[in-house]
Structure 1
Amino acid sequence: MLVRRLLAAQLPELAGLPLARLDPAGSDNVIYRLGTELSVRLPRGEWAAGQPEKEARCLPRLAPHLPLAIPEPIALGSPTEGYPWHWSVSRWLPGSPPDIGGLPHPDQTAAELARFVAALHRIPADAALAPGPHNGFIGAPLARRDTETRVAIAETADVFDSSALTAIWDAALAAPPWPHPPVWVHGDLHPGNLLMADGRVSAVLDFGGLGVGDPACDALIAWTLLPASAREIFRAESGFDEDTWTRGRGYALCTGLNAYTAYAATNPRVAASTRHQITETVADFQRDGFRTAAPR
């Protein structure tokens, strides 16, 4: 097995521990549990190849400032044994992903996530640590996603209300850009990247999209997990202003459409979660009273 060979060659003191592949694994990484205290992550392709090095460099700097646990890198593996990219070993974090639509304490969850997001955005974006360009235009202006998003809206017109999706997208593009210096952003806050224990959020995972930019992308969790009542708590306590919230809703829409068009036909789990994400952006938009597209 590849992972066994990598461990034996580079971390022989860990090579004898029990090893079990996690399922479902992430879209960017294959993940194994190593013994009871560790995990191994291996990028699936070139698009994710820089993530282990970035996390090893940045996460120890961020962790002391955050109110929730995040992955603790233990070792950074090198390309070898027929595997072409860096890989990582991190401390195992206990818990399980939250149940969309079944949060035991949604208001509490919203407040916990808001405090995490606000704390991350307050950490000075150290130029020596900032990862620079990051995959998927995370933290970048939404206009870079305009063409692909409009194509996805047209492609899913038989599933979703294309006029409503267009109105949300137009409003997001029309919102003023982030007027302050770039901040640290997680970039991929969805339920699969959270752990919960005893009804509380216990950890935030997968910082492969970590970057610096517009904090609007970290509003994503509001539409991927939280019910409408808790969403308002998250919005208030995270400090997102109206323009950032509007851009965040556009980010939730475009990432939901991207995942839906890419995976829905082959992955029922992704289809269900992204359908929820998209329909929640529509409901939220309508509750805010934006019935027509904002002027371009």
Structure 2
Amino acid sequence: MNASPMPPADVDVSLDLVHRLVADQMPDLADRRLRMLAHGWDNVMVRIGDELIAPRTPPADHGEAARALAAFLAALHVPAPDHAPRNPVRGIPLAGRAARLADNLDRLGTRVDGHTVTRVFRAAAEAPAWDGAPVWLHGDLHPANILVHGGRVSAVIDFGDITAGDPATDLAVAWMLLPADEHRAFWGTYAAASQHPADGALRIRAHGWALALSVAFLAHSADNPLMAGIGRRTLNAVMADVA
């Protein structure tokens, strides 16, 4: 198999649709020019005019970004109620991603070292499982869903996959966005602010989630260089930890 395009969206969001929605819901902005800025697997980002959203850039200070994201996640990762949504592929025990990982590796073929990826993933999946109450999760936290303004992390967007489960899923962002020398600040801030221990098993599972997600991004982003780039950079970061 070959790497695939992104999965088709349930709703085709065109500029014409956006224009009609803006005109109906925010008529004061209806005369602004619309431009497609970015798109993910199930969303698009449209720029309205010239000042309402800026091009995506990396944080100017990765240490500050590490602490900001860790504090955000610690505040988010609180016990979720019983009626919180459940996602069949996020927040679950890591072993539940094994079949998807194998399929994605088949799609990528020789583009990645499937044997090593599988070995590293299995080691992470064997770490002690999350035994606390399910906590709220963003569910899809990666660099394209993190906004930077003035060089600083300013917002996290796209809560369409919000769910409950193992916080390791969200904590994979450490390898997706941050250089290795800022991981200590990330984990230190998270451990100090979270309501549960940020132990070694949690970090190992987060490492495994970063690996699984990087391969998924690579396998399903043949038509999206942004997501493919995130996948490649994340895979390189994860594998550097085990080199």
TM-score interval for Structure 1 and Structure 2 normalised by the shorter chain: 0.7 to 0.9
- 1:97 maps to which of 37, 46, 56: 56
Fraction of identical pairs, as percent: 36
- 1:202 maps to which of 137, 149, 154: 154
Q: CA deviation at 1:155?
A: 4.2
Matched residue of 1:245: which SS?
helix
Counterparts in 2 of 1:134-145, with a 5 A limit?
134=87, 137-145=89-97
- Once the two structures are superposed, residues 186-211 of structure 1 have per-residue CA deviations (whole angstroms, 9 ceiling, x without a partner) of 11221111111222111111111111
Q: Which moved more, 1:179-188 or 1:13-22?
A: 13-22
Q: Give the equivalent residue in structure 1 for 2:5.
A: none
- 2:41 maps to which of 24, 27, 41: 27
- CA distance change for structure 1 residues 224 and 13 in 2, over 3 Å: closer, same or farther? same
- 1:226 maps to which of 173, 178, 183: 178
Q: CA RMSD in A?
A: 2.5
Question: Does the aligned pair in 2 maintain the 1:97–1:191 contact within 8 Å?
Answer: no
Q: CA deviation at 1:217?
A: 0.5
- Once the two structures are superposed, residues 124-148 of structure 1 have per-residue CA deviations (whole angstroms, 9 ceiling, x without a partner) of 42446x2x133x6111122222112
Question: Does the aligned pair in 2 maintain the 1:19–1:32 contact within 8 Å?
Answer: no
CA distance in 2, matches of 1:273, 1:167: 22
Question: Does the aligned pair in 1 maintain the 2:143–2:176 contact within 8 Å?
Answer: yes
CA distance in 1, matches of 2:204, 2:26: 50
Q: CA deviation at 1:168?
A: 1.5
CA distance in 1, matches of 2:136, 2:113: 34
CA distance in 1, matches of 2:116, 2:17: 47
Question: Does the aligned pair in 1 maintain the 2:37–2:47 contact within 8 Å?
Answer: no
Question: What residue ranges of structure 1 are gaps of 5+ in the alignment?
Answer: 38-91, 287-296
CA distance in 2, matches of 1:18, 1:181: 46
CA distance in 2, matches of 1:139, 1:158: 29
Q: CA deviation at 1:16?
A: 3.4
Question: What residue ranges of structure 2 are gaps of 5+ in the alignment?
Answer: 1-15, 192-197
Q: CA deviation at 1:109?
A: 1.2
Letter in 2 for 1:20: L
CA distance in 1, matches of 2:34, 2:147: 19
- 1:211 maps to which of 163, 168, 193: 163
- CA distance change for structure 1 residues 261 and 127 in 2, over 3 Å: closer, same or farther? same
Counterparts in 2 of 1:51-62, with a 5 A limit?
none
- 2:137 maps to which of 177, 185, 188: 185
Q: Give the equivalent residue in structure 2 for 1:47.
A: none
Question: Does the aligned pair in 1 maintain the 2:104–2:215 contact within 8 Å?
Answer: yes
- CA distance change for structure 1 residues 17 and 153 in 2, over 3 Å: closer, same or farther? same
Question: Does the aligned pair in 1 maintain the 2:40–2:227 contact within 8 Å?
Answer: no
Question: Does the aligned pair in 1 maintain the 2:139–2:169 contact within 8 Å?
Answer: yes
CA distance in 2, matches of 1:126, 1:26: 29
TM-score when normalising by structure 1: 0.67
Q: Give the equivalent residue in structure 2 for 1:125.
A: 80
Q: Give the equivalent residue in structure 2 for 1:165.
A: 117
CA distance in 2, matches of 1:285, 1:198: 34
- 1:278 maps to which of 229, 235, 238: 235
Matched residue of 2:214: which SS?
helix
CA distance in 1, matches of 2:96, 2:205: 13
TM-score when normalising by structure 2: 0.80
Q: Which moved more, 1:226-235 or 1:159-168?
A: 159-168
Question: Does the aligned pair in 1 maintain the 2:33–2:48 contact within 8 Å?
Answer: yes
- CA distance change for structure 1 residues 96 and 179 in 2, over 3 Å: closer, same or farther? farther
- Once the two structures are superposed, residues 217-248 of structure 1 have per-residue CA deviations (whole angstroms, 9 ceiling, x without a partner) of 11121111111100222122212321111111
Question: Does the aligned pair in 2 maintain the 1:98–1:194 contact within 8 Å?
Answer: no
* 1:114 is aligned to 2:73: no
Question: Does the aligned pair in 2 maintain the 1:96–1:197 contact within 8 Å?
Answer: no
Matched residue of 1:196: which SS?
strand
Number of residue pairs matched? Answer: 222
CA distance in 2, matches of 1:203, 1:15: 22
